[in-house]
Structures are given as C-alpha cells and as structure tokens.
C-alpha cells in the first residue's frame, strides 16, 4: 500500500600529456548479517560507477576503516550509532568525508534516535522530527534529477520533518512535501557532508522498478554533491567544444579564483571550491583572458573538486606517471584529453 502524506556552463579542460591516469573513487560500507544482501547490491552498484569498495560486517564503527575513503555508508541493521560512532563521523566529515547513514526502518528504536542525535547534538547542523509510523511511504527525488530518478516513486518505511538546517533531496511527493525521506547536511569547512535516511530496505528489495529509480537517484545524488568522479574523456575536441572553451576564456567570475603554477615532482595537490561562479586557472589570467593552470613534473597527484553552478577549471598537466581526479556538481561538465 502506498501512503502519500547559468551564465555559462561549467567547463573542465584536461590537456594530459604523456602518461596519466584518473583517480578512482573509494567507498567503505558498514553492514551486518541481516543486511548482507543490501551490502552485495550496493557494492555492485558502486563498483559499476567505478568505485573501489571495501566492507566491514560489524555494527561497530571504526574510523580507521574509512578515514582515507571518499565515501562511507552505514547500513548496519539495528546497531546503534553511539558516542564512539558519532565521534568518528564528526572527525571524518570534519576532514571532508561523506557519510550516508540509514535507519533500520523502525522509527522509534535506538538507532533512529542516535541518527537524530548525530544531526542535532553531535554535529549541530539541524533539527528533525521522525514521523511516528512505520509504513510503505512513497519517496520521490526532489531538485536536480532526471531520467529514471524523476520517473516515479520508490518506497521507504519512514519519513521525517525538518525544522532547521539541511537540504531535503527526497520527500513523500514529487513536488516536495513536509515529510522528507532523504536529507543532506554540510559540516565544517572542508566540504564534508552527511546524508540521512531512515530505511535500509531502499538499498535492496524485490521490485525492480523501485530499485531502478532508487539507484538512479543514488547515482545522481553522488554526482550532484561532487562525491562521484564523473569525468569522461574523448581523444579530440569538437568544433562546438572549441567554441565553448574559447567562450570560457572570455568570461568573468564573481566567486573565488585560484591561480596555479606548480613545478616539481611527487607533489600532492587538492583543491575544494564550494559555491557558484568559481574559477581554477593559471597565473597571469585576466578578467577577459584566462590562462591554463600549469602543473609540471612527474609522479604528482592532483584532485580538484567544485560544488555549485557556473564554475570553470582550465589546466595543463605535463610529465610522467601523474594521477588526476576531478569532482564536480553538474552532469554537463566534461573532461577532454
């Protein structure tokens, strides 16, 4: 039973010379025996997106298991997220990590209460009220979603209302509702994020249509929030792309500008920009003419992440055995080689 309660496109240009490779996304999942099928399904979906996935069959959260990962997901049944768990998440998210935590589908058990406390007390990023019923509620993607993610609902056992903080990304009706099923919270200054839902059965059930819609929502959420490396590569630049790049070099930006000229070997560079109208380019850029950022040398690791709209990245990497990764918010971003 179903209950119903840009001024310019972001441009990302890679001119990768000699031998380069792309950073792979990494994820860790905490699960228990009762959610092993959920883990198997989720792991498969993440691997299809290019993630390297590890898992821990335990209700106990250990920071060292995922401190170096891009994404941590907790679908550990009825296991509590007690003080040790909440402290681990505070550290990890504060360092720029991304946590997805799901309740067990029981609105009034300790796990649900501790997830609420993680939001309200530990991270102090918002206040919520869990809807006091377990039922088959519809869940619909809200915001910048398309395709299967926006074609209809999937089911969730629990809903909640949001009194302050956070952003609802799925709710009980297609156009948004007082009752939410998924929410996102930003924490700290390093780009860390907490995603909350209260039903793990969304990750695995027997209705294929709901699973298709849910995992389309899941993938687009990772893309929208800059967690998934969605860069694609082509061997040449089309005339339309050349025009777009030329246009990007002539635009101004009203956000933050980062200008790079790095020379040397075995360096690690990570840049995170959060907001709109930001720029990563080279030294010597002017308001009317942007210069590519130069990264020259061997065995360098470069990770660039932009979250928001109307952002621009332009850079050259020259050398051998370099590793590059890009994260961005909008699917219309692209990488060219």
What pLDDT, on the 0 to 100 scale, is given for residue 18?
32
To which residue do tokens 């007390």 refer? 121
What pLDDT, on the 0 to 100 scale, is given for residue 275?
72
Instruction: Please state the three-class secondary structure of the chain as a single string.
Output: CCECCCCCCCEEEEEECCCEEECCCEEEEEECHHHHHHHHHHHHHHHHCCCEEEEEECCCCCHHHCCCCCEEEEECCCCCCCHHHHHHHHHHHHCCCEEEEECECCCCCHHHHHHHHHHHHHCCCCEEEECCCCCCEEEEECCCCCHHHHCCCEEECCCEEEEECCEEEEECCCCCCCCEEEEEEEECCCCEEEEEECEHHHHCCCCHHHHHHHHHHHHHHHHHCCCCCCCCCCCCCCHHHHHHHHHHCCCCCCCCEEEEEEECCCCEEEEEEECCCCEEEECCCCCCCCCCEEEECCCCEEEEEEECCCCEEEEEEECCCEEEEEEECCCCCCCCC
Tell which residue, 187, 225, 197, has the closest CA to residue 93: 187
| Whole-angstrom distance, CA of residue 315 vs CA of residue 284 | 13
Taking the domains of the chain in order of start, what are their residue ranges?
Answer: 25-224, 239-328
pLDDT in tens, the chain (337 residues): 454 443 333 334 433 323 333 446 899 999 999 999 999 999 999 999 999 999 999 999 999 999 999 999 999 999 999 999 999 999 999 999 999 999 999 999 999 999 999 999 999 999 999 999 999 999 999 988 999 999 999 999 999 999 999 999 999 999 888 999 999 999 999 999 999 999 999 999 999 999 999 999 999 999 999 898 654 433 444 554 444 445 445 555 677 777 777 777 877 777 777 777 778 887 777 666 677 777 788 877 777 777 666 677 777 777 776 766 565 544 333 333 3
What pLDDT, on the 0 to 100 scale, is given for residue 15?
35
What pLDDT, on the 0 to 100 scale, is given for residue 256?
76
| Whole-angstrom distance, CA of residue 269 vs CA of residue 185 | 26
pTM: 0.69
Chain segment 268-302, per-residue pLDDT in tens: 777 777 777 778 887 777 666 677 777 788 877 77
What pLDDT, on the 0 to 100 scale, is given for residue 337?
32
Q: What is the CA radius of gyration of the chain?
A: 21
Q: Of the CATH numbers 3.40.50.300, 3.50.50.60, 2.40.10.350, 3.40.50.880, which one belongs to the domain with range 25-224? A: 3.40.50.880
């Amino acid at each position: 039973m179903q209950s119903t309660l840009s001024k310019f496109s972001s441009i990302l240009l890679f001119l990768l010379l000699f031998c380069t490779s792309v950073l792979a996304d990494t994820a860790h999942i905490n699960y228990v025996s009762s959610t092993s099928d959920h883990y198997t399904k989720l792991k498969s979906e993440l691997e299809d997106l290019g993630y390297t996935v590890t898992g821990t069959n335990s209700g106990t959260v250990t920071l060292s298991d995922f401190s170096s990962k891009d994404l941590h997901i907790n679908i550990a049944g009825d296991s509590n997220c007690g003080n040790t768990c909440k402290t681990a998440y505070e550290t990890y998210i504060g360092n720029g990590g991304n946590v997805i935590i799901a309740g067990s589908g029981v609105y009034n058990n300790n796990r649900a209460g501790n997830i609420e406390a993680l939001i309200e007390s530990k991270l102090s990023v918002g206040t919520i009220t869990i809807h006091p019923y377990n039922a088959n509620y519809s869940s619909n993607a809200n915001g910048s979603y398309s395709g299967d993610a926006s074609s209809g609902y999937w089911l969730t056992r629990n809903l909640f209302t949001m009194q302050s903080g956070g952003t609802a990304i799925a709710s009980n009706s297609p156009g948004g509702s007082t009752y939410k099923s998924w929410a996102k919270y930003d924490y700290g200054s390093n780009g860390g994020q907490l995603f909350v839902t209260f039903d793990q059965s969304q990750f695995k059930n027997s209705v294929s249509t709901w699973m298709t819609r849910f995992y389309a929502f899941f993938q687009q959420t990772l893309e929208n929030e800059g967690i998934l490396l969605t860069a694609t590569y082509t061997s040449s630049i089309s005339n339309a792309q050349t025009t777009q790049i030329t246009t990007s070099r002539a635009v101004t930006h009203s956000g933050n500008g980062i200008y790079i000229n790095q020379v040397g070997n075995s360096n690690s560079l990570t840049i995170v920009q959060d907001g709109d109208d930001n720029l990563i380019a080279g030294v010597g850029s002017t308001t009317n003419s942007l210069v590519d950022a130069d990264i020259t040398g061997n065995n360098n690791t470069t990770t660039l992440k932009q979250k928001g709209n109307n952002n621009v990245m332009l850079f050259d990497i020259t050398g051998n055995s370099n590793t590059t990764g890009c994260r961005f918010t909008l699917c219309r971003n692209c990488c060219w080689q």
